[in-house]
Structure 1
Amino acid sequence: MTESDLFVSAKGAAWVSPEPGVTRRIMTYLPEMMMVEVAFEKGAVGAQHSHPHIQASYVAEGSFEVTIDGRTESLEEGGSFIVPPNLVHGVRALEKGRLIDIFTPHRAEFLK
């Protein structure tokens, strides 16, 4: 890592669309951790899935219905949730919104 890698501008981050109404961009990462911004249109769904990474998410904008291991709660701006490894989880945007997701270790498949 060089000193210039310590600060990242959002201008250079490419958006990808993994699901209808959902776009994401990698904000920054090291092998041990990754930060991703995910934008949702109202009603868009982040489908139920699981992965071996720990995930912590912050609701930066909007509100979401979040399901983790069969338990569902609604979270508004400023709320957060954490997903231990391998638990099935997903979200539904109750309105247009954004999540900031942190993964440890980084999601290598997002880099392809």
Structure 2
Amino acid sequence: MTEPKIFAHAGESAWTATPDGNRRRVLLHTDELMMVEFGFDKGGVGALHSHPHVQASYVAEGRFEVTIDGRTEILAAGGSFIVPSNLVHGVKALEAGRLVDSFTPRRADFLPSLD
């Protein structure tokens, strides 16, 4: 069994285009937890969606309009939010920016297929 990667360095992971036109890179993960960086251009939208994973997000750069379960707030760099399991949520980048998201359990759909 392979030991999990426990350290990541800036720029080490490659960006992957997301279906909604943004980009993400998986930084680290175990079966129980995953950390992912998302990059948005100004006006970029993370469409409303839900998933069974609990998500905690940190605004690393920029300003975002964040909607969770019908409630919307503007968050700037240094702000954060949490999305309980299965709540509908999404974001809009009011300026170019980055979010660092943690998911529990990990988002297997963000990993390359092992097929």
Query: TM-score scaled to structure 1, two decimals?
Result: 0.93
Q: What letter matches 1:91 in structure 2?
A: V
List per-residue Cα deviations over 1:43-95 (Å, max 9, x = no partner). Answer: 00000000000000000000000000011000011000000000000000000
Distance 2:82 2:67 in 1: 11
Q: Alignment partner of 1:109: what SS?
A: helix
Q: Which runs of 4+ in 1 moved over 6 A?
A: none
RMSD in angstroms over aligned alpha carbons?
1.3
Aligned residue for 1:75, secondary structure, equals strand
Q: Corresponding residue for 2:7?
A: 7
Alignment-derived partner of residue 87 in structure 1:
87
Partner of 1:64: 64
1:46 alignment counterpart: 46
Aligned-residue offset at 1:10:
3.7
Query: In 1, Cα distance between the equivalents of 2:29 and 2:10?
Result: 13
Query: Contact conserved, 1:10 with 1:27, CA < 8 A, in 2?
Result: no
Give structure 2 stretches of 5+ with no counterpart: none
Structure with a larger share of its residues in strand: 1
Q: CA deviation at 1:37?
A: 0.4
Higher normalized helix content (fraction of residues): 1
Question: 2:100 aligns to what?
Answer: 100
Read off the aligned partner of 2:103 and give its amino acid letter. F
Whole-angstrom CA distance in 2 between matches of 1:11 and 1:74:
27
- Residues 97 and 11 of structure 1: CA distance in aligned 2, closer, same or farther (over 3 Å): closer
Separation in 2, partners of 1:8, 1:58: 17
Distance (whole Å) between structure 1 residues aligned to residue 11 and residue 92 of structure 2: 27
Amino acid of the structure 2 residue aligned with 1:102: S
Q: When the two structures are aligned, how many residues end up with a matched partner?
A: 110
